[in-house]
A and B are shown apart, each in its own frame.
Chain A
């Protein structure tokens, strides 16, 4: 009895963890399940029968496909823009002491802490306001892109920052000692080493952009992104293709992530092996 209790106590955290993970993945399972459903009418919420027809041609619905393409294009450009701007910001914040650092920190943190509805609404007010009509910010792809880059920058900064902080400065110093100009050091030493961080930041902003609903709702004008399409379609019955695409998006990301994790493990294992080999070969010289 006591042993049972001990086992429970020791593993309770793990058990809760697994339960929570199941909870988190449950709706995904439902979505995936219903992508195989064969509804009789417009609505896809009661299980009728199994079919793979929607998997065979998920892009049949042209409106759905158009909105998905728009979202992907938007996310792609957002990712590029936000990653560049954010990485530069992160480098500045981590590496340099300068006046206005606290203010910059604040400027980056506050958007993350602002409710999306306020960001979306303020951008809409901005795009509609009289002063900016000369630039003619018509609501559409441009405004969406501007909005998406804006809210992604902060997240990019956070991710790249944490990578930069764990970074061994001595490598940069070594490069400088060997006569490399700062730019060269940056391109050939720093950037490759923070590349994983930059890559995750890029993926994060891509994901945030594709998923965004609230801010897009306010600033899309007549354009319809994938989430906006779903919102409209909800009124009249969401086509099964949406479930298929959602499941596909999920699966693709899972595979990508697993690949990254796998890659990391391999790299670690290889590093260990190399260290072992080095140890066997020579007497290690402390740097």
Chain B
């Protein structure tokens, strides 16, 4: 008797639990917002407010700053800066922050640093704010002329270069002395010792250019043809891997002898192995910038402006340039370095002349509407994930 009654109460309990689960499921089916809606902000705000001596959160790429600048900035302005190197890949970073940005929440960040094409994308989606130019006159004044009017931000309304660089060939001069063009990377004698970048907008245009296609005029078919060429060379073992910054490690120990890589990496790597050098491919290189931007919902634009002004002072920038070894976007840095470190000041990779970069192009994206771009991106992703 008791048995049956207790069983009933148990049964009721279980039904209750089931009902709970079912209702959650129904809610999941119905729900709105978030994943369902995309991002659609049409009003771009101007970033104002905040306390220049308050907290500042900066998201940047790894190895992009020396170890003294942040503390010196904090001392000079009274701010407290949290500098996080959590941008490892443009797409990856986008995926991380999109859910926040689409809700107008910056996740605490007041400055983010992403490459040109991602800066463009984020701006189009309404994820970044415009600058209050009165707050950043130093930065605006000291920007080098060649970077003052990029196609995606002709008046530098929302982006300010952090560093710029060149993508070309990185080689071990002792193990692969004759690599001068991207096509040399496909030379069978370097089979299995070649890597390329996971950044599609670096790798594919370089491959296209080596085959005579002008990256600025390339069609979707051209992109796909280059991607097919890459696929072939993955299948036959010519290309060992597609990497981010980690190709430098393999190059230092000789597992990789030639790669598509970034100018600053090579200069930095010479400390590990002096035989590593960056070479301008015969057909030219890709030029790109990583840009500082103030995202929506940034808690402290005032401190952000202070930071941007600070790093645009030639003295401070010289200190960064000495460590980072990329191309500095700030006027007057070369002169400062000439006194301190003449070798660095005359390094063509850090202060390239017009002549040096005459064949180079500003980093390009695949042509066409978002669907076509996605097609190319997917094809490339399939190649690099084997």
User: Are A and B in contact, CB atoms below 8 Å, in the complex?
Assistant: yes
Instruction: Using CB atoms and an 8 Å cutoff, list the residues of chain A in contact with chain B.
Output: 39-43, 45-46, 63, 98-100, 128-133, 138-139, 221-222, 224, 232-237
Partner of B31, one of A40, A100, A129, A233: A129
Please name all residues of chain A whose beta carbon is closer than 8 Å to the beta carbon of B107 when the two chains form the complex.
138, 221-222
Number of interface residues of B (CB under 8 A): 40
Instruction: State A222–B87 Cα separation when bound (angstroms).
Output: 10
Please name all residues of chain B whose beta carbon is closer than 8 Å to the beta carbon of A132 when the two chains form the complex.
28, 31
Q: Are A222 and B96 in contact (CB under 8 A)?
A: yes
Q: Is the interface of A mostly helix, strand, loop or mixed?
A: loop
**How many A-B contacts are there with CB distance less than 8 Å?**
91
Q: A139-B99, A221-B107, A232-B62 are in contact. Are A130 and B84 (CB under 8 A)?
A: no
Q: Are B62 and A224 in contact (CB under 8 A)?
A: no
Q: A222-B107, A232-B88 are in contact. Are A99 and B33 (CB under 8 A)?
A: no
Question: Chain A interface: which of B245-253, B287-295, B328-336, B357-365?
Answer: B245-253
Instruction: State A189–B244 Cα separation when bound (angstroms).
Output: 57
Q: A40-B272, A232-B88, A235-B88 are in contact. Are A128 and B35 (CB under 8 A)?
A: yes
Q: Are B34 and A129 in contact (CB under 8 A)?
A: yes
Q: Which of A98, A138, A221, A237 has the most CB of B within 10 A?
A: A237
B32 at the interface (CB under 8 A from A): yes
Instruction: State A13–B33 Cα separation when bound (angstroms).
Output: 61
Please name all residues of chain B whose beta carbon is closer than 8 Å to the beta carbon of A129 when the two chains form the complex.
28, 31, 34-35
Q: Are A42 and B272 in contact (CB under 8 A)?
A: yes
A-B contact pairs, 7 of them (CB 8 A): A41-B252, A42-B248, A129-B35, A131-B27, A131-B28, A222-B97, A232-B86
Q: Are B100 and A138 in contact (CB under 8 A)?
A: yes
Q: Are A236 and B27 in contact (CB under 8 A)?
A: no
Instruction: State A233–B63 Cα separation when bound (angstroms).
Output: 9
In order of increasing CB-CB distance, the 8 nearest A-B pairs are A41-B272, A130-B31, A131-B28, A131-B31, A41-B271, A235-B245, A133-B34, A131-B27
Q: Are A130 and B32 in contact (CB under 8 A)?
A: yes
B67 to chain A, nearest CB (A): 9
Q: A232-B85, A236-B245 are in contact. Are A128 and B273 (CB under 8 A)?
A: no
Q: Are A128 and B272 in contact (CB under 8 A)?
A: no
B269 at the interface (CB under 8 A from A): yes
Instruction: State A164–B24 Cα separation when bound (angstroms).
Output: 35
